[in-house]
């Protein structure tokens, strides 16, 4: 019986991870869609030189960042999938969420300071490992940054 305990704990972790992970993911995507619709009027571009008929002033750097982690179930699934190779599907929505959230926060920072345009936007992704064990990934960090500018004469 006592040998079964780790196995049961593992099964519980998987189930808890699966349930809470899918709920968090669904909620996050819903909130992202809502906030993205809300900031659709903002102009966010990735090139440094906007159309020449724009007059820009008051440039300032704005950043947005987020650290997101996978749940236990998806991490286990990803571990299995790396054995066979190919698409590691559990990681794809994670990175998508992290990037969109970082961009969202950058836009919100810009908006809070009264800007509606952000130029030269860059995205950077890095992996955080846990201090306790080298192998396990604690999460991904995405940083979005750009130059907020005011348009108009």
By CB under 8 A, residue 80 contacts other proteins: no
Query: By CB under 8 A, what part of segment 43-72 binds other proteins?
Result: 48, 55-61, 63, 65-72
Q: Rounded distance, CA 125 to CA 140, Å?
A: 7
Q: How far is the CB of 116 from other proteins (least distance, A)?
A: 14
Q: Rounded distance, CA 43 to CA 107, Å?
A: 9
By CB under 8 A, residue 74 contacts other proteins: yes
Q: How far is the CB of 54 from other proteins (least distance, A)?
A: 8
By CB under 8 A, residue 130 contacts other proteins: yes
Q: Rounded distance, CA 116 to CA 11, Å?
A: 49
Question: In degrees rounded to 5, what are phi and psi of residue 116?
Answer: -125, 0
State whether residue 149 is helix, strand or coil: strand
- H/E run at residue 34: helix 4-38
Among 36, 38, 92, 124, binds other proteins (CB under 8 A): 124
Q: Rounded distance, CA 51 to CA 94, Å?
A: 34
Q: How far is the CB of 85 from other proteins (least distance, A)?
A: 24
Query: By CB under 8 A, what part of segment 81-120 binds other proteins?
Result: 101, 119-120
Q: Rounded distance, CA 101 to CA 17, Å?
A: 21
Contact set with other proteins (CB under 8 A): 13, 16-17, 20-21, 24-25, 28, 48, 55-61, 63, 65-72, 74-75, 101, 119-120, 122, 124, 126, 128-132, 134, 136, 138-139, 141, 143, 145-147, 149
């Amino acid at each position: 019986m006592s040998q079964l305990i780790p196995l049961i704990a593992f099964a519980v972790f998987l189930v808890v991870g699966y349930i809470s992970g899918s709920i968090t993911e669904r909620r996050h995507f819903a909130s992202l869609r809502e906030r993205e619709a809300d900031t659709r009027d903002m102009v966010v571009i990735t090139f440094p030189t906007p159309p020449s008929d724009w007059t820009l002033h008051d440039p300032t750097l704005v950043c947005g960042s987020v650290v997101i982690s996978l749940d236990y179930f998806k991490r286990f699934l990803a571990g299995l999938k790396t054995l066979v190779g190919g698409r590691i599907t559990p990681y794809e929505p994670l990175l998508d969420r992290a990037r969109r959230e970082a961009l969202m926060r950058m836009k919100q920072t810009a908006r809070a300071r009264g800007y509606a345009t952000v130029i030269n936007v860059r995205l950077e992704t890095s992996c955080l490992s846990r201090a306790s064990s080298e192998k396990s990934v604690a999460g991904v960090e995405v940083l979005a940054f750009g130059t907020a500018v005011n348009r108009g004469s």
